[in-house]
Structure 1
Amino acid sequence: MSAFSKRASALAVLCAMSLMIVLDSTIVAVAVPDIQRDLGFSDAGVAWVVNGYLVAFAGLLLFAGRLGDLVGAWRVFLAGLAVFTVASLLCGLAPTAGALIAGRFLQGAGGALAAAVVLGMIVRLFPQPAEQARAMGIYSFTQAGGAAAGFVLGGVLTDALGWPVIFLINVPIGLAVWLAGRRLLPRETGPGLRRGLDLPGAALITGGLSLAVYAIISSAPVAAVAAVLLLAGFVLRQHLARRPLIALRVLGRRWLLVANAAVVLVFATGMGFQFTNALFVQRVMGYDALGTGLAFLPTPIVIGLVSLFVAPRLTGRFGPRPVLITGLALLFAGLLLLGRLPVAPSYWADMFPPLVVMGLGVGVTVPAIIMLAMAGAAPADTGMVSGFSNTAQQAGGALGLAVLAAVAAARTADRGGAPEPVALHAGYTQAFLVAAGFVLTALLITVFALRRAPAQPAEPSGTTTPAPRAEPSRTTTAASQAEPSRTTGAQRSEPPVTAACGGAGAPPAR
């Protein structure tokens, strides 16, 4: 097998795990009514079938990213995949509501371990800008494909075989991916846990983020205050700890914080739109669950095609920033069109065109915003930065879901004697316009605050974590095998992603 084939195979393993996570999320959303009926969930309790996963996932991402830096990303990835697969089996066999929720928390923990290190592994596998853009496009295509398949499969599998199958289907897939990953993933190692995992810091950040997500989902002020206190305690701990979980020198980098603020807004839009548009299609347009999934298909299909065939070429030629600006502008336009939907819309005349425009926008936006969020990370910090970016995505999704749902509910409740369909229409279209505001804010951040790509951060001294290295007795890293005449991303003087963002610093090229 050639060096490129080894890297491509490793990318396929990483994307397969990401596909499982996305597929699981969308399938579960469709199956929630059947789960509620069969296990006797209350109306409020059934939300934890989704939220339990989200809380565990978001709360453990940063911890998992740091763990990958210390013991090797491939070990953490395979451990997370194993946990996710076992938890899927427990969910499929769950006899009670409590057992299912416990399984979903465990699934979220496994998903966090695997997902936290994926972006960093892709960056190291494909250090060259053009190759990295293509790899990110394939990764985004996988996400879109999972979303598209999930909406349809969720309805088909639940109706034909029952909701347990949506979890049990992960077991053979997870086992196959684990075996392939064991053989194909580059076996990089870190300095080991002796270099400091900072368990108190891990507990503070995990508890703080979990409570923050819970507060967003449940609108619980007490939880929000507790989350702020725990997160403040985490920052203090990182300042005082001899070997902190997250180096404050990294979180102090302006580019990282600003780029991930845009990530939060983009993913807040995506998750919130998915939720509100599903309700609009069902409650205003009268579609059933399967019909809703089919109605959604144009967006993920367009996202997949654009992210796979168009986005890599545009990003490789112009750099990520100009492409991101274009994508956000398209996404903004699509949401404005949805905000103008009539009370009795026609799917093909009124709904289909905005969905296609949004698909075009998201297809180029997501790969570019991920590349920008990873820009400037030193090789030793890629796991942490990857975890931080994934955390921003999950937190953004929770925020968008909570805010847009609240906006739609408040506007609908203020119906002023209007018939229910009219009130529902007003609520959901108002939510679409608020989502457009999220995108406009991300666009302004990109235009005015992400002008120049960050300089390569100096490798830290003292308590720093060395860059991941290949185990001498095992397979060497795929990236280092690729082209012997070149240096790897960890050895080059410029950061792997910054090179791809070079056009973002000079006159816009992305």
Structure 2
Amino acid sequence: MTQVHRWRAFAVLAVSFFMTIADLAIVNVALPTIGVKLHMPESSLQWVVTGYALTFGGFLLLGGRAADLLGRRRMLMIGLAVFSAASLGCGLATAEGFLIAMRCLQGLGAAIVLPAALSIVMNMFPEGAERNKALGVWGAIGASGATVGLIAGGLLTRYAGWQYIFFLNVPIGAAALLLAPRVVPESRLATARRRYDPFGAVAVTGGLSLLVYAISTAPQVGWGTARTIALLAVSAALLAAFLVIETRVEAPLMPLRIFQNKTLAGANAVSVLLGASFFAFIFIGTLYMQQVLGYSALKAGLAWLATSLTSVALAGLSQALVTRGWAKLVMAAGMAMIGGGVLWATQVPVHGHFWANLAGPFVIVGIGTAFAFIPVSIAALAGVAEHEAGLASGLLNTSQQLGGAIGVAIASTLAATQASTLLRQGAAPAAALTSGFHWAFWACGLIGLCGVPVTYLLVRRNELAKAVARTAQKPQPAAAEV
């Protein structure tokens, strides 16, 4: 496959990836409008977000392994079809139950698209400079997708209607679906007989789905309630059963030997902390702007341009530094800046102003995401065999999504607890909310800073240097046509 054709295929895959990431955040600023238009209570409204995260996080590993076994382009197209159809259903929804069901179906489509797309990228580009360039762009999309989603959500909600945050996906998904068989190469695990791991698939999908469900609803029902504890216990039991199954079946869904690659294991650990700190910061920062400063959905979305534009602008520098062999240092610096930028935000006042109080933290976090997302993506795929590309990409995205769900749950719990305590003591609502958000920012910042020691303890400099130092002239693995 020529270089020009590879980059054409990459463009289709990048657009597919962007849609799934943007949809994690695009509904946040539109939730108040959706609640009013569909007469949804607060308890149901949260499921417009949680339903997507639940199936997205729960099915990523299964989606990645299905791509390896059944064909990566084939699964990409199936995922795009499911995602686009579900998006149309969301836009046409007139009742809360149907909207939530379509959001769950959207998450399932995203869980099929994302690992398939990333594993195709990995197999199109050999390890070295060209793959690092591709993953640099990929990392910039991941870093900016959520904030761009907030901006798009605000614009569409104000000027077109909340339905168009979902309708927008339909023509984009349809175009990607039409182009995929023409420009995206097909590949799959070359094996005489396809072996599956149904019990492992049920255990890990059930365990991850219950875990996402438990931590997403804990802020509303309470961490110490019997329901939350029971859900976490069942989730832990299913995940433990999954690990046992994987050591005994002939063709495991997730061969545990993959974690012998210390750099891969370390990158996934950092990915959990990255997702927890960054996505929770976006969630809490948006609430602060809307609930304390009185920003509209559009203004809150536009404020995040400081983060997304900074991240995109520095993605090339990050990729260049990684290619020069400084990947470990870049990863640690990125996590330090994310943590430091969020901790700076703990100083925001009740009567804050964007340029005086928010622009600085937003820019620092934007620099951090450019420096963190790219080396994490490269490290999580370094040294992975072609036949396990879908598994490795599914694992990376699973760790990031689970991290985001955990971070949002922790931040929400801390913010709500502190605000409720102060309100009972007679504090003004704005002051109580701001204090709660301060607590949440402290948690997000410290989680981000934890990524620095984890990087130095788990990511092996030699393993990572070998991956990024390989030349782009290395022969590309042959893709087996289905």
TM-score, normalized by the shorter chain, greater than 0.5:
yes
Deviations 1:392-441 (A, max 9, x none): 01100100100011111122223143322222111111211111111111
Cα displacement string for residues 39-68 of structure 1 (whole angstroms, at most 9, x for unaligned residues):
222211111111111111111110111111
Q: Structure 1 residue 261 and structure 2 residue 260: aligned? A: no
Could you tell me which of 303, 318, 322 is aligned with 1:295? 303
Q: How does 1:326-475 map to 2 (within 5 A)?
A: 326-415=333-422, 416-454=425-463
- SS of aligned partner of 1:245: coil
User: What count of residue pairs does the alignment treat as equivalent?
Assistant: 464
Q: Is the 8 A contact 2:254 2:391 kept in 1?
A: yes
| Deviation at residue 453 of structure 1 after TM alignment | 4.1
For residues 15-34 of structure 1, the aligned pairs below 5 Å read 15-34=14-33
Do the aligned residues in 1 keep the contact of 2:207 with 2:236 (CA within 8 Å)?
yes
- Asked whether the 8 Å contact 1:71–1:193 carries over to 2, the reply is no
Could you say which residue in structure 1 is the equivalent of 2:225? none
Which stretch shifts more, 69-78 or 235-244? 235-244
Structure 2 CA distance, aligned partners of 1:192 and 1:58?
28
Deviation at 1:245, TM superposition (A): 1.4
Question: Per-residue deviation at 1:164?
Answer: 1.6
User: CA contact under 8 A between 2:157 and 2:165: conserved in structure 1?
Assistant: yes
1:478 aligned residue: none
Q: Which residue of 281, 285, 301 corresponds with 1:277?
A: 285
| Separation of aligned partners in 2, 1:218 and 1:24 | 20
Gapped regions of structure 2 (runs ≥ 5): 219-227
Aligned to 2:53: 54
Alignment partner, residue 222 of structure 2 = none
Question: How far did residue 450 of structure 1 move?
Answer: 1.8
Counterpart of 2:475 (choices 446, 465, 487) is 487
Per-residue deviation, 1:248: 2.1
- Distance change in 2, residues 1:259/1:434 (3 Å): same
- Cα deviation digits, residues 6-31 of structure 1 (max 9, x gap): 01011101100011112323321121
> Is the Cα–Cα contact under 8 Å of residues 142 and 373 in structure 2 kept in the other structure?
no
1:487 aligned partner, one-letter code: P
Normalized per residue, the structure richer in helix is: 2
**RMSD between superposed Cα atoms in Å:** 2.2
Q: Structure 2 counterpart of 1:488, which letter? A: Q
Residue aligning to 2:108: 109
**Partner residue of 2:155?**
156
Aligned to 1:262, what secondary structure does the other structure show? helix
Q: Quick check: 2:379–2:464 contact (8 Å CA) kept in 1?
A: no
Q: In the alignment, residue 234 of structure 1 is paired with which amino acid? A: F
Deviation string, structure 1 residues 84-120 (Cα, Å, up to 9, x no partner): 1111111111232111111111111110001012222
Inter-partner Cα distance in structure 1 for 2:458 and 2:366: 25
Residue 3 of structure 1 aligns to which amino acid in structure 2?
Answer: T
- What is the correspondence of 1:34-45 to structure 2 with a 5 Å cutoff? 34-45=33-44
Deviation at 1:347, TM superposition (A): 1.5
Cα gap change, 1:363 to 1:31, in 2 (>3 Å): same
Contact 1:123 1:132 in 2 (8 A): yes
Question: For residues 40 and 336 of structure 1, what CA distance do their matches in structure 2 show?
Answer: 37
User: Aligned partner of 1:37: which letter?
Assistant: V
- How far apart, in 1, do the equivalents of 2:106 and 2:144 lie? 21
What displacement does 1:192 show?
6.4
Gapped regions of structure 1 (runs ≥ 5):
458-481, 492-510
Indicate if the aligned counterparts of 2:203 and 2:241 stay in contact, CA closer than 8 A. yes
Q: Find the aligned partners of 2:238 and 2:147 in 1 and give their Cα distance.
A: 37
Deviation at 1:318, TM superposition (A): 3.1
8 Å CA contact 2:125–2:476 kept in 1: the answer is no
Give the match for residue 201 of structure 1: 200
Report the Cα distance in structure 1 between the residues aligned to 2:430 and 2:33, rounded to whole angstroms. Answer: 25
Counterpart for residue 122 of structure 1: 121
In percent, how many aligned pairs have the same letter? 36
1:193 positional shift: 9.4
Return the TM-score normalized by structure 1: 0.86
SS of 1:377's equivalent in the other structure is: coil
The 1:371/1:68 distance shift into structure 2, 3 A limit, reads same
The residue aligned with 2:176 is 177
Q: Which moved more, 1:31-40 or 1:57-66?
A: 31-40
Question: How far apart, in 2, do the equivalents of 1:249 and 1:332 lie?
Answer: 32
Q: Does 1:71 align with 2:79?
A: no
Query: Are the aligned partners of 2:327 and 2:465 in contact in 1 as well (CA < 8 Å)?
Result: no
Find the residue that maps to 2:298 and give its secondary structure.
helix
Q: Separation in 2 of the partners of 1:191 and 1:121?
A: 15
For 2:224, the equivalent position in structure 1 comes to none
1:500 aligns to what? none
Q: Aligned in 2, Cα 1:325/1:96: closer, same or farther, shift over 3 Å? A: same
